[in-house]
Amino acid sequence: MRKEWIYIFTIIFFGIVLTLFEYFNSDKSYQLSPSTGLPSNVVCPKLECFVACIREVETGGQKNGGSSAIGDGGNSHGPYQIQQGTIGYATNYDSTLDGVLATSLSGKTGKLTEDERKALSEKIMYANWARAATANPERLKKTWTCEDLARIHNGGPTGHKKKATIAYWDKVKTCYDKCP
């Protein structure tokens, strides 16, 4: 009887291990929109303009579009005012971001050009949004809107639920409503 239980336990254990291996090593590209690279449950029309609106709200009016901006007491960097915690969260979705320092986004460290800082910042934002939209089965069921993305950008992975991010969305929306 004891050998049977050991045998059953071993089969279950290896079944779980194989399932986890398949999940973490599977090609998740089927979830991505070919036009944006974001998961298909993210629906934000005029995405390029939307991203420009976030930049305008974060660093609008600053020299070079805020490319060298440092805010929030030195914690937020670059044209989209990204913090190190955001990069850490985004790295869970896009491992190529591992080791990126927020200070490189403002040019404080590293030798990235202004265009490279902007492109890297946008890559971090997209990975951050994709991670938030796919973090668990419940999030996969939700349709993520521009409002959700803006509020996540401002308030972290659960920013879309925080009352404190509504005013931020209102600012982004004012700009976004003018998008062609």
Give pLDDT, residue 23.
Answer: 44
Domains contained in the chain, number: 1
Give domain status of residue 92, yes or no.
yes
Question: Does some domain include residue 38?
Answer: yes
pLDDT at 44: 96
| 86-to-3, 14, 45, 93, 111 alpha-carbon distances in Å | 49, 35, 23, 11, 21
pLDDT of residue 160: 97
Tell me the CA distances in angstroms from 88 to 34, 95, 133, one per residue in order.
25, 10, 16
Q: What is the CATH number of the domain that holds 60?
A: 1.10.530.10
- Domain annotation covers residue 123: yes
Residue 147's pLDDT is: 98
Q: What is the 3-state secondary structure (H, E, C) of the chain?
A: CHHHHHHHHHHHHHHHHHHHHHHHHCCHHHHECCCCCCECCEECCCHHHHHHHHHHHHHCCCHHHHCCCEEHHHCEECCCCECHHHHHHHHCCCHHHCCCCHHHHCCCCCCCCHHHHHHHHHHHHHHHHHHHHHCCHHHHHCCEEHHHHHHHHHHCCCHHHCHHHHHHHHHHHHHHCCCC
Inside any domain, residue 24: no
Q: Is residue 73 part of a domain?
A: yes
Residue 6 located in a structural domain? no
- Predicted local distance difference test score (pLDDT) of residue 157: 95
Residue 10, in any domain of the structure? no
Return per-residue pLDDT of the chain as tens, 180 residues.
676 766 665 666 555 544 444 444 443 433 455 557 899 999 999 999 999 999 999 998 788 889 899 999 999 999 999 999 999 999 999 999 999 999 999 998 888 999 999 999 999 999 999 999 999 889 999 999 999 999 999 999 999 999 999 999 999 999 999 999
pLDDT at 161: 97
- Supply the range of the domain harboring residue 47: 30-176
86 lies in some domain: yes
Q: Output the pTM of the full model.
A: 0.81
